[in-house]
Each structure stands twice: as C-alpha cells, then as structure tokens.
Structure 1
Amino acid sequence: MEDFEIFQRMGLAIAIGAAVGVERHWREKDEDDGSRTAGIRTFTLIGMLGGATGLIEHSITPPGGFSGIIIIGFLITLTFVFTLFQLREAIAEQNYSVTSVVAAMLTFAFAVVAVLGDMTVASAGGVTLVAVLAGRDFLHAAMRKLRWTELRSAVILLALTFVILPIVPSEPIGPFGGISPSRILTMVIALAAISFCGYAAVRILGSATGEIVGGAVGGLISSTATTVSNARRSLTEDLARPLAAGAISAGGVSMLRTMFLVAMLARPLTMLLLPVLVGGAATMLGYAYLIARRSAAEHPELSVKNPFDLVEVVKMALLLVGVGFLVRVASQFFGDGGLLIASALSGLADVDAATVTVTGMLSTLSPQTASLAIGLAVLSNTVAKAVYASALGTVRFGVHVWIASLLAIAVAGMCWMLVQLGEL
C-alpha cells in the first residue's frame, strides 16, 4: 500500500466517522458540552481509530491474509468502553436506546473496511448508516402508521421474491414453447408489487395523485398488469376514477417505454415512431391528470383498504400468462410471413416482446414495415387493455379507460398519417 493510498484510505475512515458524528451531535445539539456520550469529535475519533486499527493489522500481518486479532481486540474494547459511558447517560436520562452503541460499532467497522477493503463499499456503508440515523423521525412515524395488512403483504411479497422464486423451475412445460412456472410466479410478484406501490402511493399522496404515481410506476413494469389490477380493485373499492387515472397513466408510460426501447435498439425507426408514441402518451397522461384532478375535488378522503389480495393476484397472473401462451400458439401458425398479424397478437399481452423481436429483424425489414409492426402491437395492446378494463372492472372504470384509449389512438393515428406524408 503506497503512501498516497494510505492517506486516501485514512481520510475516508475519518470522513465516515465525522459524517456519523455530525448526525449524532445534531440530534443532541441543545445539550451542554460534556453531557452527551458522543458527538462529532468522538465519532470522528472512532473513525480514526478504525482506520488506525486497519493500518496496524495490515502492517503486522504477513502477506496472504489477515488474522483479525487486532481488529477484534480493538472492537471489543471500544464496544465495552462506549457501552459503559452510554449506560451512565441512559440511567441519568431514562433512555433505553442502544442506537449510538451500534452506530459506534458500525462506524469503527466501516473505517476498518475503508483501510483494508473496498473503499466504495465502505463509503456506501457510511452513507447508508447516516441516512438510517437521520431518518429516525420518518421511520418512527411510518411505523406508527403501519397496519397489519401492510406488514403482512410486504412479508408475502418478500417471501415470494426471495424464498419461493429461486426454487421454482424456470424450464417451460408443454407444447408451443410451453409455460414456465417461474414466469407465472414472476407475473404474480409483478402484479403484487404494482398493487403494493399503488397502495403506498395512495397512502402517502392521497387517492388522486397517488393512483397516478402508482400507475406510472406500474407502467414501467407492465401496463397490462396495472390495468387488470386496477380493474379488479374498482369492483371492491369506491375509487373508479382514481383507479382509471392510474391505469391510463400506466398506458401512457408504457408508450414512452416502448419509444425508449426503439431508440435504444433501432434508431432508424425513431423518427417514424417518436411523434406517434409521444402523441399517444401525452394524450393518455393528460386525460389521467384531468380525471384525477376532478376526483380529488369530489373524493378528497378516499383510500384503499388492502395492498393486494393474493388469490386475485394469482388469478390475474394466470390470465395474462394464458393470453401470452395463446398468442404464441397463434403466431406459430401464421409463421414469419404474418409478422404484422403476429405483432398485433403479441400486443394483446406484451408490447415489449413484439418490439424486441421486430427490432432484431430490422436488417431484413424495411423501416416502414418494422415501424408498422410495432405500431400495431401498441394499438392492439391499447385496445386489449380497454377490453380488460371493461370485462374485469366497473362500468365507470371501463368507460374512462376506453375514452382515453380511443383519444390516444386517434391522436397517434393522425401523427402516423402526418409522418407518412412527410409533415412531421
């Protein structure tokens, strides 16, 4: 380790301690000097101690590895001394928090990592530590507002994602490409995550704005899934207009996402599709904003009751996966010669698949044919979502989605004609 690197690593160790010390000192800034166990000076020194410990360990350890004895010894000593002083302060103030003790141990640990390990990991850990400490009031307020249904839903979502999904087979089962069990579960997780994000947005921002934000997030994942999810919710919750705004905004974001994919994968198609997709997206987002504003004026206190119903989520996932399977079956019968028909069928469930497929065939297709195939996928997807909205949701929900979809199709069609005529 060269001298410059030593100073750089020690500087990071001290900076980590100082950053934590600023937060701890600010938390007790009104206290008299000497009345707090640790402030900016103490935590800065803890960071320096961690860095010095790392240097000692590095200097006395032979090449090939670290024994860790020096680090463990200093950490135990620091923890014992710091806990002793923190205990005296806690007795005097009747305070039962152990946060400062753990913060001191982590500051020491990250300082050691800064000297002996990856500086990026050490700095990221230090910033995260400060963020958690500084977010105490927000986290405590969030916990006071947390409901059992929200906690249960979060646990289910985490279990599906990190416990069950890794052990579910990913190989497709059945003919025509089959159906992958992991794809079904992934769709379940996506639907549940969309519902949970929408629920959280409504709790934080209110029913009108929250549904638009939740829908926009859902549009980045799957606008079709968001529409189906919101349609089902509209049957049990008095949120037809806000839920429709969320589904419509998801459709608008989906068009923008398709435009982004085209720009990344097939730049020659950008100028042909940019006015069409942006025009359609702007129409849907504008309509969503208008009905959301009206909803906020009429129903200022609306809120959802449950982040997601797992049984309904599974049903919706099976529906979407089943539609995708039927589309693949139909596409195989049409063959490569029916690219436009296949793209339109693919759009019934997923626009991304058609977009990626068509852009990958650009070397054998004219830009007009390729852009038309993607446009048909977007068109069929927009119509399919309106059909899903009518079939699975309330009448009011379906009407709003249909109006927004037809307006977007009309605007996109006009833009397409102008592009073909060379006016745009």
Structure 2
Amino acid sequence: MDTVEAFQRLGVALAIGLLVGIERGWKERSVRAGGRTAGIRTFALVGLLGGLTGYLQPYLGTAFAIALLLLFGAIFTLFKRREAEEEEDYSVTGVIAAILVFVLGAAAVVADPRVAAAAGVVTAGFLAARDRLHGFLRRLTWLELRSALVLLAMTVVALPLLPDRPIDAWGGLNPRTLWLMTVMIAAISYAGYIAVRVAGSERGVLFAGAAGGLASSTALTVAFANFARKAPESGRQLAAGAILSGALSLARVLVLSFILAPALALALAASLVPGFLAMLAVVFWTTRHGAEGGKAPELTMTNPFDLRVVLQFGLLLGAITWVSKVLVDTGPTMLYAVAAISGTMDIDAITLSTARLAGGSISLDTAATAILIAVVVNLLTKVGLAASGAGAGAFTARLGGATLFCIGCGLAGYLLLMPLVPAPAPA
C-alpha cells in the first residue's frame, strides 16, 4: 500500500479506539484520575497500536504480531485484575474490549477497513447497551428463554432436515415450506409477546394493542373484552387498543402476502390499506376525544410460543393448504367457503396457503378475494367474541362500529381501486 492509504487505514484504527474509548470513558467519568485501567486515551492508543502491528506485520512476520498481541493482553489483564480487586468488580468485558480494539486496529490495516470500522461501531454499541441488555435479561423468564431456544432449534436444526418437495399426490404438502411458514408465524407472535414483556403494560393500552396485533389480535380482543367487563368505565380505552390490534392484523396480512407473492399484496392493498387507515382514524378519534379518565386493568399475556399451539397451527396450516390445493380445480366457490371457515379461527393460515397458490394454481383475483373473505369473517368474529365477553357496552359498540367502518372502506377500495391494480407481467 502507498503512504496515503497507510495513513487512512491507521486513521481508521485510531478512530475505532477513540470510539470505544469514549464509551468506556463516559461510563467511568466519575472515577478519579488514574483510578481506571483504560479510558479514551488508552483505548485510542490501543487501536493505533493494533494498526501499527498490522502495518509492520509484512516486515517483521506473523510471529511478531501474535507475540505483541499476547504481551499486550497479559499486561492489560494484569492491570485490570488489580483494578478489579480494588473495586470488587470482576467483569472481563473491559479486557475483551481492549483485545478486540487491538485486533480491529490491525484488521483495519491488513484487511478491509470498512469491515473493521463497522465491527468497531457494533462493539461500542454493545458496550453502551449494557444496562438495557441486563434489564432485558432481568425481565425474561426461563419459559421465555426456553421458547426462544426451541424456536432456534425449529429453524436451524429441524428445518434443514425436512424434505423440500411435495409428499402428497396433489402436490399440496411441502414439509419444508410448511414448517418454514409455521416458524415464521411463531416468530412474529413471540416477538409481539416479548415487546409487551420488555416494555411493560404500564406503557398503555395502545402499546399493548399494537404488540397484540403482532401476536394474536383475537386473543387480545377477548382479553380486553374481559377487562372491559370488569372495568366498564375504561371501555373506550380498551376498545382503542383492540381496534389498533385489529388494524395491525391487517398490516400483518399484507406483510405475509408480500413475502410470498408481492403481486398479491398489491391487489390486497386496494382493500386492506383503506380498512387499515379507517381503523387508525377511529383509534385516533377515540384517544383524542373519548378519554374518560378511567384506568384500564393491567394487561397480562401468556407466552404465545407454546410448542403444542405451534404444532396445532402447523396442522391447521397444512390442512388448509391441502384442502385449498385439492379444491382449486373445482372452482373458486369452494375455496371461498374454506376461507370463510378458516377466518373464524385464524387468518394467517389461509393467507399463507392462498398466497402460495396465487398466480399459479389460482388467479390473483381469486386469491385476493379468498383472503379478504377470511379477513372480514375474522373481524366480525372478534366483534362477536367481544360481545360475549363484555356485553353490549362501550367496548363492543366502539369495536363493532370501527369494524363496520373498516369493512365499508375496504369494500369501497375493492370496488374502486382493485380494477386499477395492474395485472402481473407474464412469467
């Protein structure tokens, strides 16, 4: 490398050390001078030392670089141990950070400096997020951690072992595809649950409703209906949360459709986007002009990542996928009937199964209509469940009104905008 490039790479090495040093120095800014092993100056020099080691490596050999790294690590560890004994803080993070800065400084010279710089930013970010990460762990239970491990096992271990081909005579059941979609839904639900657990229900009913839309809008609606029965004075607040959950369930259908069939998502958007905006407008109006001053009960959500529930969803998805595939040749009427029945229980399964057939075994119009039927049935089912749980109160009235408004706007979009959706280009 020429001299200009060498200075540039050494500058990146120095910048990495400065960045980590600023974070470390800020965390220990109240420590007396000389009372800490390393701060902004030391880490900056460590980054530069690593960069110079990488620069001299072609001249002095790899053994020199390794020996210098080991010597630096030993000296830094010795000083850090003395500091730990004095403060009774035996965290090894500072030692790892210093060694990492040395290595990244060397990498900035001998490898791609952009990768080294990115790794330096990530390192500083992790160090700065200590309190937040520790708080995250304190809020998690063993059941939630185990669920995350099961989810990873389902994705990393089980998924590659499944055959990636249809196993039935109709070509409707592909074990790997079916399992992948099941895991995807489980992951979305688990993410929504973790959002509620980490942020806490004290953030408000709307936040809980938003997270519930990612997990299970039906389950959240039933829970809020029960809360509204216990605290009818908070019916409007709880209704706003349930409506927001329903709105995000529509967005969830769009996202799932876009992942599997972007052209289908465009067709669905003609109806779902107006319905989504209508429900958001009701939420805004309710929270802005309908405050009663009542306090909603604490939201408690059970862990949605129950392996039994996940497997049941997989069986439901497989059944709907197979039935949809078998009934494709009989005409859209039977598919619409399957969509309506499925919508009383869940809209994810019919969305995933129909999106896989869209543009192939069935037309985009037929697929979009089937999914919209399931969505409408699901919205009305939630109103029925709310009425059975909360009775004919403010909660049910507002949820029912918002649902009818949403369906009306969606129908208008279907009639006015759907004809404007361009047909997909032929494959």
Out of 286-295 and 111-120, give the one that drifted further.
286-295
Describe how 1:206-217 pairs up with structure 2 within 5 A. Answer: 206=201, 208-215=205-212, 217=214
Q: TM-score, normalised by structure 2?
A: 0.76
Amino acid in structure 2 at the alignment position of 1:39:
G
Structure 1 residues 254 and 153: alpha-carbon distance in aligned structure 2, compared to 1, 3 A threshold: closer
Describe how 1:222-301 pairs up with structure 2 within 5 A. Answer: 226-227=216-217, 244-245=242-243, 247-254=245-252, 257=255, 265=263, 276-287=271-282, 297-301=294-298
Cα distance in 1 between the residues matched to 2:388 and 2:293: 20
Amino acid in structure 2 at the alignment position of 1:158:
L
Q: 61, 66, 75: which one pairs with 2:69?
A: 75
Cα distance in 1 between the residues matched to 2:37 and 2:285: 55
Amino acid in structure 1 at the alignment position of 2:279:
M
Describe how 1:162-177 pairs up with structure 2 within 5 A. Answer: 162-177=156-171
Cα distance in 2 between the residues matched to 1:123 and 1:380: 51
Structure 1 residues 290 and 153: alpha-carbon distance in aligned structure 2, compared to 1, 3 A threshold: farther
User: 2:53 aligns to what?
Assistant: 53
| Contact 1:21–1:39 (CA under 8 A) maintained in structure 2 | yes
Structure 1 residues 402 and 316: alpha-carbon distance in aligned structure 2, compared to 1, 3 A threshold: farther
After superposition, give the CA deviation of every residue in 1:327-351 in whole Å (9 maximum; x if it has no partner).
11111343xxx6x986896796444
User: 1:36 aligns to what?
Assistant: 36
Cα distance in 2 between the residues matched to 1:278 and 1:262: 18
Q: Residue 306 of structure 1 aligns to a residue in which SS?
A: coil
Amino acid in structure 1 at the alignment position of 2:125:
A
1:161 aligns with 2:159: no
Structure 1 residues 302 and 215: alpha-carbon distance in aligned structure 2, compared to 1, 3 A threshold: closer
Q: 403, 412, 420: which one pairs with 1:414?
A: 412
Residue 284 of structure 1 deviates from its aligned partner by 3.3
Residue 380 of structure 1 deviates from its aligned partner by 1.9
1:134 aligns with 2:131: no
Residue 326 of structure 1 deviates from its aligned partner by 0.8
| Contact 1:198–1:211 (CA under 8 A) maintained in structure 2 | no
Structure 1 residues 172 and 320: alpha-carbon distance in aligned structure 2, compared to 1, 3 A threshold: same
Q: TM-score, normalised by structure 1?
A: 0.76
User: 1:223 aligns to what?
Assistant: none
Where structure 2 has 5 or more consecutive residues not aligned to the other structure, the ranges are: 230-237, 343-348, 421-427
Cα distance in 1 between the residues matched to 2:75 and 2:149: 38
Amino acid in structure 2 at the alignment position of 1:147:
T
| Contact 1:198–1:214 (CA under 8 A) maintained in structure 2 | yes
Cα distance in 2 between the residues matched to 1:249 and 1:97: 46
Structure 1 residues 105 and 21: alpha-carbon distance in aligned structure 2, compared to 1, 3 A threshold: same
**RMSD of aligned Cα (Å):** 4.2
Identity %: 34
User: 1:196 aligns to what?
Assistant: 190
Q: 315, 319, 327: which one pairs with 1:318?
A: 315
Structure 1 residues 23 and 154: alpha-carbon distance in aligned structure 2, compared to 1, 3 A threshold: same
| Contact 1:251–1:382 (CA under 8 A) maintained in structure 2 | no
Cα distance in 1 between the residues matched to 2:21 and 2:208: 40
Aligned residues: 394
| Contact 1:202–1:208 (CA under 8 A) maintained in structure 2 | no
Cα distance in 1 between the residues matched to 2:196 and 2:178: 27
Q: Residue 14 of structure 2 aligns to a residue in which SS?
A: helix
Q: 117, 124, 132: which one pairs with 2:111?
A: 117
Cα distance in 2 between the residues matched to 1:214 and 1:376: 27
Amino acid in structure 2 at the alignment position of 1:183:
T
Q: Residue 165 of structure 2 aligns to a residue in which SS?
A: coil
Cα distance in 2 between the residues matched to 1:352 and 1:418: 26
Amino acid in structure 2 at the alignment position of 1:283:
A
Residue 86 of structure 1 deviates from its aligned partner by 0.9
After superposition, give the CA deviation of every residue in 1:174-199 in whole Å (9 maximum; x if it has no partner).
12113122233323322322332221
